[in-house]
Amino acid sequence: METHDIVLTVVREFPYALYGSMLVGTLCAFLGVYIVAKRVVFLGAVLTQVSVLGLALTFLPVFALPHTIGSLVVTIASVIILSTLLTGKHIPKDAVLGFVFVFSIAARILVMQKAPKVEASEIENLLRGDILFVTPELFYLMAGVFVVTMAVHLLFFKEFSYISFDAETAGTQGYNTGLWEMLFYIIAAVVISVATHMVGDVFVFGFLVVPPVAAMLIAKRVKWIFLTAVLLGMLSPIVGLFLAFKLDFPTSPTAVAVASAVLGVAWLVRQVRA
What per-residue confidence (pLDDT) applies to 1? 54
Rounded to whole angstroms, how far apart are CA atoms 134 and 136? 7
Rounded to whole angstroms, how far apart are CA atoms 202 and 188? 16
On whether the CB atoms of residues 27 and 195 are closer than 8 A, the answer is yes
Domain residue ranges in the chain: 3-269
What per-residue confidence (pLDDT) applies to 128? 57
CATH code at 3-269: 1.10.3470.10
Rounded to whole angstroms, how far apart are CA atoms 167 and 172? 9
- Residue 45: what residue type? A
What per-residue confidence (pLDDT) applies to 25? 95
What per-residue confidence (pLDDT) applies to 122? 58
What per-residue confidence (pLDDT) applies to 113? 78
Report, as ranges of residue numbers, the positions in the chain whose pLDDT lies below 50.
118
What per-residue confidence (pLDDT) applies to 118? 47
CA 271 to chain centre: 28
Q: pTM of the full predicted structure?
A: 0.86
Report which of 24, 21, 20, 18 is spatially closest to residue 150, judged by C-alpha positions. 24
